[in-house]
Structure 1
Amino acid sequence: MRPDLSRRHLLALLAATTLSGLVSPAMAAGAATQGAASIAAEPKRRGKGTRVIVIGAGMAGLVAAARLVEEGAEVVVIEARNRIGGRIFTDRSLGVPVELGAGFIHGFNGNPLADLLDRSGSRPFFIDEDRAVLLEDGGIEPEEFELDDLWDDVDTIIEDAAEESDGNPDTSLAEIVDILDPGLAKEPIGGWALTDMIENDVGAPLDAISALHFDGDEAFDGPDVVVKQGYDTLLAPLAKGLDIRLGETVLRIATGKHGVTVESDKGRHRAAHVVVTVPLGVLKAGSIRFEPALPEAHRQAIDAIGFGNLGKVSVRFDRAFWPKDAHYIGYVARERGRYAEIVNLMPSHDAAALTLVASGAYAKTLDAMDDRAVAADVMQALGSMFGVQPKPPSGLVRHVWSTDPLARGTYSFTATGTLPAHFDALAKPAGQGLWLAGEHTLFAYHGTAHGAFLSGQRAADAILASL
């Protein structure tokens, strides 16, 4: 699940240039070509006669299963939830699709999810990052010169963070901010910029993020896209025809020369291979027992890689009292991370609804509230922004990922002490016939749905190659 407000959005808000220079065109083109070719390739039936168990029916699991079935393998997908999708979770109780998990296709050009959207029959809504509003309390818009200076400050921190860390992955971004611009985080607008540019994107507080590697991943070019019919519609082409067992929790996985055995709360399954696509938070919690234990390199990686958290709440009103044409609304709150990003559903769905995102330390604050307290907090923030006292929302919906035992957070990030090699370690075979997949196994695209897609494809192709 990547945050809805990308770094490119801040650049648009600050009237700066795009960050396309951070993207590796060769890598993006290669990943996209591989994704499209894998889906469209003529089946070779390399998997015929092979039985595979896939644990988890999120993006990675469904891609792996669909790829293996395409090649003739017999596949069973075991999913603990009573729905598919995992951290892709679309809710329609407000009358329009709102995303409680993954929200955007990040970077549409060459993204393998763009092809998946086309196959699903859904329609894209392209985000215009120039159509954004930034507001302080009382509806005040910061002066242009103030934003220009702010951009210079944040740009310096991002550009110099790795060098200032002096090669030490244990140095946090909070330490770098204190060195380069100690007053920035103490000002509300400076705090907003640090949240918008870094904490929203990485999915963690500054003091938990490694300054050395936080900005080393890749991104696809082009606009971000909202899936108008709901993000979960992307899953239908993958899930079609698959044997998916919902509501079944895996407890133990045993591997050996005679194959793999998967024990769940509903029985026992045997196969030649197993692909484990549960979130990193579940692996950290040790919810699944591996026999023998995972290799030391895998266990070290699971401990080292961070698993972050964002809070999301969507609210619907009888009418819109905010700028209807704005795709994004930024809020400069006194508390850093308090709804720095607000997504307006008026342009995309013609609905008087907003999705507010809490990041950094405020994500934990939001998660600790009950729905009544969340509604009051949202109302207070919106009232401060627009100088009005709106009527209570007609509907509110959210999902608390940090306390969800099947997730335990939102997505992986480069925590202090994390190295790209830790992600690479998780991509390697974890035992005889045992493979891991998920966004946390692909450093270049970690924390994204397209990263999960590519990792599932990679795991399936590794199994096929091993045959």
Structure 2
Amino acid sequence: MRPDPLRRRLLLLAAASGLSLSSVGRRALAQASPLASAAGPVDAAGKGLKVVVVGAGMAGLSAAARLAESGAEVVVLEARDRIGGRIFTDSSLGVPVEHGANFIHGYHGNPVADLAAKARATPFFIDQESWQLLEQGGVEPEDFEIDDVFDDLETLADSAAEEADGDPSVSLLEVIEMLDPALLQEPIGNWALTDTYEGEYGAPLAQLSALHLDAGEAFDGPDVVLREGYDLLVKFLGQGLDIRLGQPVRRIRHRPDGVTVETDAGTVEADHCIVTVPLGVLKAEAITFEPALPDGHRKAIAAIGFGQLAKVSVAFDKPFWPEDVHFLGYAGRERGRFADMLNLTAIHDAPMLTLVASGDYAPRVDAMDNAALIADITAVLRDMFGSDVPAPKGMSRHAWSRDPFARGAYSFPAVGASPADHATLAAPVGPRLRLAGEHVSGDYAGTVHGALLSGERVADLVLAAGKG
């Protein structure tokens, strides 16, 4: 949950050493974005072309906007009654809280940051050093204890791939049990493992491939929360687009000369189709493809992990926690039990927290009813801050694992999977059908900017293909 965990720190160190995309390359990438111009069509490459985009999340909307500004006729079919997909902002508690995507990860050169500037969003820059960790009974560990644990994690991160010895089926949990099992026996160690890995990837340690944990790239700079809410960006992108809500796609027939997309409301014919539904929907085979997806695509869909993360925002009459820190950590008995909390007091001047459950605890939270969940959260907060802590006066949640149009949070490097699986999904399904989304992005899987760049990339490929 804290937006600068060990993995991103290590990636940024690699970038500083010239091992990843250079700052010049990132600037060029952002400048090349078709969303860089808000002045209308950048060319007429799409004139006379009709495209159906399935899904109105970041990937779908970025693809549709790129196509539309190039003159194509675009129809966006969205199963939900709202746009945004896993960007889902709720203001029912008085200020924007994020059920889904929360941060712009790495502000410098990030195309989502560029989009936020165009949408006139107000960024709140996160200080990754502004956090407080409490153990059971409200005990604050000494700095050296935390430093020692993160030193152990850096050693673990340096050795994980070597211990996997080229085998993607070796889990991170197996490597920890071999190299440093003491981490699993102490509350601070378990908290650090959650904060660094389970909360970052949305998956338990036993499901994470030790070999491919550090695959991918990262943008430089601080992480950012948008004060108006993340959904400001999808509303901005969606302006002027033909978006049809409440139309889940059931079947896609793709031929050498075009596509037919079937929904509960009827069919849409087009020259091309871009499918941007979450990986969980593809795993569930909720859409029938005729002909079926290629064998390589089906294997990649099965291999890549699709995780669970439970986020719950709660409101109080007044804060009983430190008001100026950006994050709170809880090192309790059970790994993943609300180990990380975002302090909305610092961001919105509101007495609210967003708590995150990860790893094996996330599905337990999604299975709780509201009364049980409030009781569980209250118990954690009382353990941290004392028995006089009141129960929340309001709560906002969304169970992504039980959402039929998501079926989970975001993709992760699962045991048995490899970065090549993302490249497979980026390959065309057929001459008229392509996939897009964060799970299709090899460099930026699991991120909003990965989804945005994936949508733009596919839109450009469709424009290049044209009607031919």
Q: TM-score, normalised by structure 1?
A: 0.96
| Pairwise CA distance, 1:464 | 1.1
Q: Cα deviations across residues 397-419 of structure 1 (Å, max 9, x unaligned)? A: 10000011100000000100111
CA 464–19 in structure 1, closer or farther in 2 if over 3 Å, else same: closer
- Give the superposition deviation at 1:169: 0.4
Structure 1, residues 278-309: CA drift from partner, whole Å, max 9, x if none?
Answer: 00000000000000001111111001000001
| Residue matched to 2:311 | 312
Match of 1:98 in 2: 97
Answer yes or no: is the 8 Å Cα contact 1:43–1:70 preserved in 2.
yes
* Structure 2 residue 416 is the aligned partner of structure 1 residue 417: yes
| Structure 2 partner of 1:21 | 13
User: More displaced, 51-60 or 17-26?
Assistant: 17-26
Give secondary structure in 2 for the equivalent of 1:26.
coil
Q: Among the aligned pairs, what percent are the same residue?
A: 56
**1:135-154 to 2 correspondences below 5 Å:** 135-154=134-153
Following superposition, the deviation at residue 144 of structure 1 comes to 2.0
1:453 CA displacement? 0.3
How many Å apart are 1:215 and its aligned residue?
A: 1.4
Structure 1 residue aligned with 2:346? 347
User: Which residue matches 1:14?
Assistant: none
- Once the two structures are superposed, what CA deviation does each residue of 1:322-346 show, in whole Å capped at 9, x if it has no partner? 0000100011011000111100001
Instruction: Rate the CA distance shift 1:203–1:320 in 2: closer, same or farther, 3 A.
Output: same
Q: Secondary structure, in 3 states, of the residue corresponding to 1:170?
A: coil
The one-letter amino acid of 1:403's match is R
Q: Which runs of 5+ in 2 are unaligned?
A: none
Unaligned segments of structure 1, at least 5 residues: 12-16
Which stretch shows the higher mean deviation, 76-85 or 24-33? 24-33
Q: More deviation in 152-161 or 411-420?
A: 152-161
Do 2:14 and 2:20's aligned partners in 1 also have CA atoms closer than 8 Å? Answer: no
Is contact 2:2–2:327 with CA below 8 Å preserved after alignment?
no
Task: Report the CA distance between 1:382 and its aligned residue.
Answer: 0.3
Q: What residue in structure 1 maps to residue 458 of structure 2? A: 459
1:281 equivalenced with 2:277 (yes/no)? no
Q: Where does residue 4 of structure 2 map in the other structure?
A: 6
Task: Please tell me whether the aligned partners of residues 88 and 101 of structure 1 are also in contact (alpha carbons under 8 angstroms).
Answer: yes
Aligned residue for 1:313, secondary structure, equals strand
The match for 1:82 is 81
Question: Could you tell me how far apart the structure 2 residues matched to 1:26 and 1:224 are?
Answer: 18
Q: How has the CA–CA distance of structure 1 residues 416 and 161 changed in structure 2, closer, same or farther, with 3 Å as cutoff?
A: same
Distance 1:40 1:322 in 2: 41
In structure 2, the residue matched to 1:199 is: 198
Q: 1:19 Cα shift?
A: 5.7
Counterpart of 2:173 in structure 1 is: 174
Does the residue aligned with 2:232 lie in a helix, a strand or coil?
Answer: helix
Where in structure 2 are the equivalents of 1:211-360 lying within 5 Å?
211-360=210-359
1:25 is displaced (CA, Å) by 5.1
User: What secondary structure, in the 3-state scheme, does the structure 1 residue paired with 2:21 have?
Assistant: helix
TM-score (norm 2): 0.96
Contact 1:210 1:415 in 2 (8 A): yes
CA distance in 2, matches of 1:308, 1:98: 21
**Cα distance in 2 between the residues matched to 1:386 and 1:221:** 35
Output the CA distance in 2 between the equivalents of 1:284 and 1:198. 23
Shift of the 438–385 alpha-carbon distance from structure 1 to 2, 3 Å rule, reads: same
Provide the secondary structure at the position in 2 that maps to 1:343.
strand
CA distance in structure 2 between the partners assigned to 1:19 and 1:279 by the alignment: 25
CA distance in 2, matches of 1:389, 1:400: 29
The answer to whether the 8 A contact 1:219-1:445 is kept is yes
Matched, 1:34 2:32: no
Aligned position for 2:447: 448
| SS across alignment from 1:397 | strand
Q: Is the 8 A contact 1:54 1:274 kept in 2?
A: yes
Name the SS for the 1:283 alignment partner: helix
Residue 187 of structure 1, CA deviation:
1.2
- Pairing 1:160–2:159 present: yes
Aligned length: 459
Q: CA RMSD in A?
A: 1.5
Report the 3-state secondary structure (helix = DSSP H, G, I; strand = E; otherwise coil) of the residue aligned with 1:363. Answer: helix
Question: Do the aligned residues in 1 keep the contact of 2:3 with 2:105 (CA within 8 Å)?
Answer: no
The superposition leaves residues 114-160 of structure 1 with CA deviations (integer Å, 9 ceiling, x where unpaired) of: 11111111100000112111111222111122122211211111111
| Alpha carbons 2:4, 2:128 under 8 Å: kept | no
CA distance in 1, matches of 2:385, 2:31: 45
Q: Find runs of 4+ consecutive structure 1 residues off by over 6 angstroms.
A: none
* Contact 2:11/2:217, CA 8 A, preserved across alignment: no
